[in-house]
Structure formats: C-alpha cells, structure tokens
Structure 1
C-alpha cells in the first residue's frame, strides 16, 4: 500500500499574488493586476491642476481713488476753504491745484465754481482719514521768518491766510515802497490826518483809528510793528477795495 505523503499547501510568493494567468493556448501569461488603490490614484491624478485653476485666489482689490470737491459760495475765500476742507490749510496749494478754473487772480472766486480740495479712497475709514490729517498737521514745523521786509511780508501773508484776508506779496511790497520806502518807523506829520491829530504810521501808513478797527488777532497792538501794520492795512484794504492788490495810490 503506498505510503501517504504529507500534503502541504504550496506557499504562494507575495511576488506572484498580484498576477493572474490568462490562457492563450496553454501558455500562461502573467498580467499585473490594477488594484483599487492604484485606479483611484490614476483617476485623481489629473484633478489637482483643475482644482488649482478653479481655486486660485482673486487678485487684491485696488483702492478706488476719488476726488473730493467743493462748490464755492458767496463770501468764500481760498483761505477759508483751505482751512475748513484741506489737511494742510494751504490756500496756495489749493490755488495751484485749481488755477485752471479760478483764473489768474486767486482773490476772485466765482460762486458756483467747483474746486478740487483733495482725494480719498473708498477703503479708508473716516476715523483713519481724520487720524492721518491730525498727524499731518501735528508734524508741521512752524515757519520762521527773517527780520526784514521780505520776512515781515511773508509772515503777514501767513496770518492773512489764516484769517481769510486776500493779498499777494507783490501787492503788499508795491504799496509799502510807495508809502514808506520800507521803513517801519515812518510817520507822516504833514497831511490832513496829521493835522487832525492822527498821523499815518508804519510800513503802510495806517492811522491809529484804522489800525484799531482792522487789527488782526494774534498780532501786536503796536501800529509800528511791521507784521501788525501790514496785516491791519491789508484787512482794511480788503474791506474797502477787495484786496491790497487793488490799491495803486493813497488809500
């Protein structure tokens, strides 16, 4: 009787578990199996490029810059508008930006004229804008002026701009040279004003009653003080003639 042999289950190598035999006339062809994991990877391999294109972040929005305008009304001056509607209070800068619509004379503002007084962005909050304006003003270095005719006129112009009084350097200089030749201590002791006891004094030959009536706050009460004298005289000339620039003779 034949001896029964021990039957062992043949060990299958892990290298052949992924193969399947396909019959081709008795010849077994080893074909690799495509696993489910491999198929999924192949399917999703092309997705990232599309997903990336679809999920690209939109470009950052560009701030929308808009002009801030102001329409002139009767009684307006460039100084007043600059003081109330600009961050640097500069009527000269305001005039430069709007010279094309104002014309050659900055003192002649026509009611209804639209001025550009600044720019803003729609993404800037009001509080941020006010903070920026406040910082800008607080960091301005106070101007210094020379103690001579040039410095006196420039300082007077700065005071006049703050008070809304029109006038230019040339108009002031021209009248000073005619009235006093640039001497702040000049006094007229011979004309009708002198005969009435109120002689004309200072750079622009102002009598005491006129100086007192048109004195500008913040300047000296001394009619011989150059800056106070110029500023009061220009204030008087603005009230009577529209501007010191319109004065071409005794006034």
Structure 2
C-alpha cells in the first residue's frame, strides 16, 4: 500500500529528523564558542576597544579644527568690519573736505564778485561826479552870477522865484551892493539892522536860511536865497514883492 503525505505534516523520516537536530546542535555550539574569549577573539576585541578609544581623540582633533576655523572666520569678519568702517570714515572725511572746498570756492567767488561790483560802482560814481563837475556851471562873481546861482539852489529846494523878480527887488533894496546896511529904520533902532542885497534882518535870515549856503547875512547867494525863501512863505514868491517886505 503506498504512503500518502498529509498536507501540513513533514514527510521527513526519523533518520533525517535526527540529522537535522544534530546540525542545529552543532550550530548552537559553534555560536556559543564564538563568544568565548580566545586569542583570535581577544585580538579582535582589543582592536575594537582601541578603535573605540581612538574615536574621542579623533573627535577632539576635529573639534579643535572647527574652533580654529570659526576663530579665523570671526577674525576675518572683524577685519572686514574694520576695513569697511575705515572706508566709511575716509569717504565721510573726503566728502567733508570736498564740501569745505566747495564752500570756500563759493565764498571766494562771492567775495570777488562783490569786490568787482563795488569797484564798478565806485568807477561809475567817480565818472558821474566827473560828469557832474563838468556840467556844473561856473558862476560869475557879480550880481548876475549871484542871482543865477541862487536861482539854481531855489530850483533844487523848490523855492519859487524868477531872475526878474530877484533883480528888481535887489535893485530897489540895495542897488546891487552886497554890503549894504540900513542903520536908520526901526529895525536898526531895535539893534537888528537890515543887511545885504535884499536887506534882511538877522532873525529872518536865521529862520529862512537855506542849507547849502553860507550862514552869513552879507554873503550874496545866502542873502538872496534866504530872502526869496521868506518871500515865498509870506507872499507866495519874491516875484509878488514890489515894495518893502
């Protein structure tokens, strides 16, 4: 009758099972033996221990190298910062120097322009004075010249009057004598005699004296101009005077 193999059951013979068990036992023994200290195993264990002890040394060396590298990087960063600061300081100093130079150049240019303008103004004033001097009339030292000079001053001061009006009154009052004096009328009796070309008394002369003329009753131009100023105030103009005034 043939043997059948039941599914799930081993078909090994008894002899085969014993052989397998033996092999397994030998394998276990061999595995156990590998953990027993021996020359070969001792040497291997010692090398492993040495490698284990060398590892911290290697790490220490690598750590020092990293620290050195970091220190170098830090030093490099500091140097770069110093260099950047030095460049910044130099740029600021250069900018300040440039601004100062520009300000000085502007001040010098302004001073030069001002000096040139003043020099030009002085030249123009001098030229104008020269032209005015050239145009300034020369008055004759006589009655005609005195009247004409007085008329120019009167015109400048806004005092009305004409050549005819002045000449007419002068001839009536003093006959053209600048040193004429009245020693017999009431003014003379009061101690203030009439004097000069238009016979004015001292208080009237002092009150109506025109700036720019001599403060002297006997001065022809000063006497005429003061008398014309008085007549303009009292009569509107010396032209309106035809008698004692």
Q: Which has the higher strand share?
A: 1
More helix by share: 2
- TM-score normalized by the length of structure 1: 0.45
Select the structure of larger CA radius of gyration: 2
- The TM-score normalised by the length of structure 2 is 0.47
